[in-house]
Every structure is written in C-alpha cells, then in structure tokens.
Structure 1
Amino acid sequence: MAFYNGTLFEIDRKEMLRYAGMNPKGKDFPKEAVDSAIQEALALAEPRGIWQVLPYSPSEGRIEGNPPLMLEGESIRRHLSNSWSVAVLAVTVGDEIERTSDACFKAGDYVRGLLLDAAATTAVEHLADQVDRLIQKEAEKDGQKTVWRFSPGYGDWPVTQQKGFCRLIRAEEIGIHVTDHSMLFPRKSVSAIIGISQCTQPPAPAKCRTCSLVTCPFRH
C-alpha cells in the first residue's frame, strides 16, 4: 500500500467554471471572485491519496485483495479484459472546503459557495490525475501499459460496489468513508481502478463519455 501526499499548486480555471455550470471564459463571474475562490480552495485543500497494485483475474472478474472483490457489470469487466493486475486508488481533498462552501450557502453568499464547490471538484480530479501518472510511470518501469481509470458508477459498474472497493483500498486510512447510499465522504473524493497490461491500450476518451448519466449538465 502506498500513500500519496500530493501538492496542489493551481486549479484549472476553465475546468472549474465548467463544473460551476458557467461560461468557460468566466464572463458570468467577476474575475476577482474566481481568483479568490481558487486561492481559498488551494489554502483549504488537504490532498491525500492511497493506492496499491493487486493481481486480477480477467476471466473471473476478481481482484485478488484481502478480501477478494468480484467486479459486477459488463463495462468494467470488458474494460479490464486484457489486464492481469490492477492499481486501485482513492484520493481526497478533505472536507474543509465543503464545510466552508456549505457555510457560504447558508449565509446567502451563493457565488462564493458555488465557486468553492467547483474549485474543490476540479482539485480532486487533478489529484486523481497525479496518482494516475505516478501509477503509469511505475508500470512503465516493468514494460507494462495502463488502461485509463474507471470508477464505481461508470457505465454499468454499480456504485453499490463502492463500499467493498474502498475496503479493498483501505480508503479509511486517508479519511475516506462510504455512506449507506454508497457515496464517498468527504464528498470531494475519488476512487478508481486502473488496469495494467502488456497490451498497447487505446487513449482515454473524454471523461464524460464514460458516464452513463447522459442528462448531466457537465457532460461535454
């Protein structure tokens, strides 16, 4: 099990505004408000990650962890069909940003609350990208290729497997827990799996292409 204490130096403005549901050029918000939310989110973030490489049986769809996990859903098993090992990971930016954002909404400061929430979502995705690149580099040392990351809830992989998946990762060691509704807490957290294979892999599609919620306003 490897821990990752990442550092966030910046937050992508365009991606943040997309999560806020606004014009990517920022014309819907004063530049000062956007810049302030980015700096505040960077100060409040508590980036942490954990990951581990485990054997995987593609014929059975089983991750050989402790305990083992049988993957449900055709999309995830098809995604890992050429993988004989997998990297499982979880990352979070903590809950301080979310608490501050919620306090803003309760106080009627909706713009600041919305921008902080969007900045936190962008930050945790950036942190997941960092761990993803680290796993890719480790795989390349052994001449392996990685398959782009896939999270519970993508395609027909049921989000109800989130609890078993996070137990496999031991996500609680970085403060991530799973609610009774299979959601991650802190909310600004991500769990995912990356297949590792000798085969050359196709490039990752746009993130929203892997999600089955076609009516989502963030889809692009």
Structure 2
Amino acid sequence: MPFYNGTLFEIDRKEMLRYAGTNPKGTDFPKEAVDRAVETALALAEPRGIWQILPYSPSEGIVEGNPPLTLTGNSIRHHLANSWSVAVLAVTVGDEIEKESDACFKAGDYVQGLLLDAAATAATEHLADQVDGLIQKEAARDGQRTVWRFSPGYGDWPVTQQNEFCRLIEAEKIGVQVTDHSMLFPRKSVSAIIGISQCTQRPAPAKCRTCWMKDCRFRS
C-alpha cells in the first residue's frame, strides 16, 4: 500500500478565502492576516497520505479488500457503474493547525482562528488532489482513466460507512481515525474512492449536483 508524504509549498488563497466565507472579491480580510495564516498553516502542516488500488464489482457494489466492503447508497454505485477497479485513499494535514486555530479563538483572535481553519481545509483538499494525480498516472500506465473522487457522505452514500471504509484503507497508518459519529480525526482529513475504467476521458466533477445539502454555503 503506497504511502504519500506530501509537500505543501503554497496554499490556494482563493480556495482558502472561499472556505472562510469571504465575498467573491476576497476583501473581507486584511492581506497581512491572510499571509500570516498561510505561513502558519504551512509551518504546522503534517501532510500524509495512503492509497491503494483494489478490484471492484460494479454489479454487486463490492470493493475486494481485506475484508471486502459492500458499498451502500445509489449515488456511489451509480458513480462507479463502469469501474472494474477502484483506488481508495485517505489524506490528512494533522491536527497542529487546528490546535493553533482553537488557541486563536480562545484568545479572542477570531479572524486568525477562522483563516487558519480555512487554510487547513484548503491544504487538505490540495493534498487529496496530489494523491488523486498519482492515481491518475498509475491508471494511465494501463491505458485507463479515473472518475472524480467520491467521499462517504456525498449524495446518499451514508457517512456511517466511514468506519468500514477507513479500515479498508488502513487509514490508521497515517494517524487518521473515525469518531463515534463517523467523522474523521484529525478533522482536517479526507477519505475518498476513485473509480478506474476504460472511459476515454475523465468526467468533470459534479460535486454539488450529487450532494443532498441544498442550502450549503459552498454550493455552486
């Protein structure tokens, strides 16, 4: 199972500010505060990832891991309908950024706390993109393509499968665990599955169209 010790040289400020709930022009926060949050997040991040490619039965919705995992929910089964193998992955940037963000909130520095939290979220997504890129290259060696990644909780794939899914990935090897409420810890972590097929091109992600959270402020 490949491990990935990711590298974060920069954090996408546009994405970071979107997660912070800024206006489209990004003028809600002083540039100095944004820069300070980015620098702090980069210094505290502990990027790690793990992934592997496994056989998949689209007719039964079974990922052939150890133990096998039967996926539940129509959206994930539909998403992987043309895939005969899948890549499963987990990434995290650790919990040091979150600890610093919490410390800022407790000290009354709410702007810095919010920006640090948003920076950590953007960094986690960037790390997931890096691992996604490795999986695309691996699939391409066999003349295959990947479909965009899908996480427990998307669409009607119940987040309650998170625990089983993370056992399949062996996410604990990078320090990622699942809480009693099926949330990941450290909180700035992502788990996902990526379908691999003979499709001629990688479909564009339809993230918001598959999600039941119609009133989400990040919805596009």
Question: TM-score normalised by the shorter chain: which range applies?
Answer: over 0.9
Q: Which residue of 1 aligns with 2:101?
A: 101
Deviation at 1:23, TM superposition (A): 1.9
Contact 2:86 2:195 in 1 (8 A): yes
CA contact 2:90–2:171 (8 Å) conserved in 1: yes
Partner of 1:183: 183
Q: Which residue of 2 is the match for residue 134 of structure 1?
A: 134
Q: Aligned AA for 1:110? A: Y
Verify: 1:199 aligned to 2:199, yes or no: yes
| TM-aligned CA deviation for residue 79 of structure 1 | 0.5
Please name the residue that 1:46 is paired with.
Answer: 46
The superposition leaves residues 97-120 of structure 1 with CA deviations (integer Å, 9 ceiling, x where unpaired) of 001101111111100000000000
1:48/1:91 contact within 8 Å kept: yes
String of CA shifts for 1:173-217, please: whole Å, max 9, x gaps.
Answer: 000000000000000000000001112245223543332211111
Tell me how far apart the structure 2 counterparts of residues 108 and 206 of structure 1 sit (CA, whole Å): 38
Within 5 Å, which residues of 2 pair with 1:45-84?
45-84=45-84
Contact 2:75–2:210 (Cα < 8 Å) also in 1 = no
Corresponding residue of 1:28: 28
1:87–1:194 Cα contact (<8 Å) kept? yes
Q: Distance in 1 between matches of 2:44 and 2:24?
A: 24
Change (3 A) 1:170 1:125: same
In the superposition, relative to structure 1, how do residues 167 and 101 fare at CA in structure 2: closer, same or farther (>3 Å)? same
Corresponding residue pairs, total: 220
Amino acid of the residue matched to residue 148 of structure 2? Answer: W
Give the TM-score normalised by the residue count of structure 1.
0.97
4+ runs deviating over 4 angstroms: none
Task: Return the letter of the residue paired with 1:28.
Answer: D
The RMSD of aligned alpha carbons is 1.0
Cα distance in 2 for residues equivalent to 1:87 and 1:65: 11
Answer yes or no: is the 8 Å Cα contact 1:149–1:195 preserved in 2.
Answer: yes
Cα shift at 1:29 = 0.8
Letter matched to residue 217 of structure 1:
R
SS at the partner of 1:214?
Answer: coil
SS at match of 2:218: coil
Provide TM-score, normalisation by structure 2. Answer: 0.97
Report the equivalent of 2:161.
161
Instruction: Show CA shifts across 1:28-64 (max 9, x none).
Output: 1110000110111011100000000000000000000
Segments of structure 2 that go 5 or more residues without pairing to the other structure are: none
The 3-state SS of whatever aligns with 1:51 is strand
Letter in 2 for 1:191: S
Contact 1:14 1:24 in 2 (8 A): no
Superposition deviation, residue 70 in structure 1? 0.2
Which amino acid is the alignment partner of residue 143 of structure 2?
G
Matched to 2:42, the amino acid is L
Contact 2:56–2:83 (CA under 8 A) maintained in structure 1: yes
1:17 to 2:23 alignment: no
For 1:206 and 1:12, the matched residues in 2 are separated by: 21
Percent of paired sites with the same residue: 83
Are residue 111 (structure 1) and residue 111 (structure 2) matched? yes
The 3-state SS of whatever aligns with 2:82 is coil
